[in-house]
Amino acid sequence: MRFDKYPKNWRVKGGQPLTEMDKKILFFQNKGHLVPSPDLIKTPEQIEGIRKSGVINTGVLDLVASEIKEGMSTAAIDKLVYDYTMDHHAIPACLGYEGFPKSCCTSINEVVCHGIPNEKEILKPGDIINVDCTTILDGYYADASRMFIIGETTPEKKKLVDVAWECLKIGEETCKPYCFVGDLGNAIAKHAHKNGFSVVRDLCGHGVGNEFHEEPEVEHYGKKGTGMLLVPGMVFTIEPMINMGDWEVFVDSEDNWTVITDDELPSAQWEHTFLMTETGVEILTH
Ligand code: MF3
Ligand code: CO
Ligand code: CO
């Protein structure tokens, strides 16, 4: 989806005087930065809607956390997600999204993301799996994913899961009002590299809330001071995909969805939906 740039004539919009936030945004735009269009700054009503959707989405992931185990198929996880979401008068956003056939993504080991739940795919000890769920409640979207370790895994895979979690936390802590997307990408990539891992570059986090995928693109690598300015009222995901080996990935040509590491080494990812506030970010999915 494309958005117009912040309107040059914003100061006369509706005859309203410029707010302090408008002035700051215009200041950064005049310096050549990418700034959010007004529709990316959520109203209090929209934020409440996304927050409520986040509560259901967290309930879904908590249910998955309590049920997931060795011997279970990924289709059984998908059924839990579908049933819980529908029982709570919400809709799984993945189902039918650009033709995606299931209600969540289940991505095991070398699968980076967008794995399709399947009857024949059975969880076995040592697997690391990401379950990614997005809920639509009253038209509002909340998006989060978690990693689960089935039984005992190797120390290397455990470390990958832990470092991917730390990368999400570092992204969260770096997010301050009027920072740039590149600031968090930079901090995330530094932490991954310090641990000998790489950051997937072909997929990114995203604005979310009124739609599944909105601007900005939230890359998990990059230069400080680049990418879109983040201001209070914006809602977006951070969802670093961290690879044990190299960052390159490919899409399975049979299903056109499953994203897999080129070197077939494992990958891990955690995701939350965040609201930018006057002081930092608030998680809307826990
Ligand atoms: N939930 C994923 C994200 O974090 C998107 C999944 S799209 C699907 O953006 F179609 F694969 F479900
Ligand atoms: Co997302
Ligand atoms: Co997601």
- Residue-range domain boundaries for the chain: 38-283
Confidence label for 2 from pLDDT (cuts 50, 70 and 90): very low
Q: Is the pLDDT of residue 37 over 50?
A: yes
CB 266 within 8 A of CB 124: no
Distance from the CA of 155 to the center of ligand 1, in angstroms?
28
pLDDT of 157-168, one tens digit each?
Answer: 999 999 999 999
Ligand closest to 98 (CA) is 1
Distance from the CA of 157 to the center of ligand 2, in angstroms?
23
Distance from the CA of 15 to the center of ligand 1, in angstroms?
40
Q: Which two tokens stand for residue 82?
A: 């579908």
pLDDT of 257-270, one tens digit each?
Answer: 999 999 999 999 99
Please compute the mean of the pLDDT values over residues 197-224 and round it to a whole number.
Answer: 98
Distance from the CA of 272 to the center of ligand 3, in angstroms?
8
The residue whose CB lies within 8 Å of the most ligand 1 atoms, and thus the one to mutate among 57, 91, 97, 200, is: 97
Q: Would you state the pLDDT for residue 3?
A: 39
151: left (phi over 0), alpha (psi -120 to 50) or beta: left
CA dist., res. 239 & res. 228, Å (int): 17
Q: What is the largest CA-CA distance in the chain?
A: 63
Give pTM, 2 decimals: 0.95
Which residue ranges have their beta carbon within 6 Å of ligand 1?
94, 97-98, 100, 105, 114, 132, 134, 143, 237, 239, 271
> What is the percentage of the chain residues whose pLDDT exceeds 90?
94
**Alpha-carbon dihedral sign for residues 95, 206, 216, 39:** positive
Q: Is the pLDDT of residue 9 over 80?
A: no
**Residue nearest (by alpha carbon) to ligand 1 atom 4:** 143
Q: Is the pLDDT of residue 50 over 90?
A: yes
CB 166 within 8 A of CB 194: no
3-state helix, strand, coil in the chain (%, to 5): 35, 25, 40
Please compute the mean of the pLDDT values over residues 35-48 and round it to a whole number.
Answer: 98
Q: Would you state the pLDDT for residue 17?
A: 82
pLDDT of 78-119, one tens digit each?
Answer: 999 999 999 999 999 999 999 999 999 999 999 999 999 999
Q: Would you state the pLDDT for residue 7?
A: 61
Distance from the CA of 242 to the center of ligand 2, in angstroms?
15
Q: Is the pLDDT of residue 44 over 70?
A: yes
Residue in 108, 188, 114 with CA at minimum distance from that of residue 148: 108
CA dist., res. 18 & res. 12, Å (int): 8
Cis peptide before 240 (omega within 30 of 0): no
Please compute the mean of the pLDDT values over residues 117-144 and round it to a whole number.
Answer: 99
Number of the ligand 1 atom closest to the C-alpha atom of 208: 9
Q: Is the pLDDT of residue 241 over 60?
A: yes
| Phi, psi (deg, nearest 5) at residue 251 | -100, 130
Overall fold of domain 38-283: Creatine Amidinohydrolase (3.90.230)
Q: Would you state the pLDDT for residue 16?
A: 76
> 147-168 burial string, b = 16+ CB within 10 Å, else e?
bbbbeebeeebebbbebbbbbb
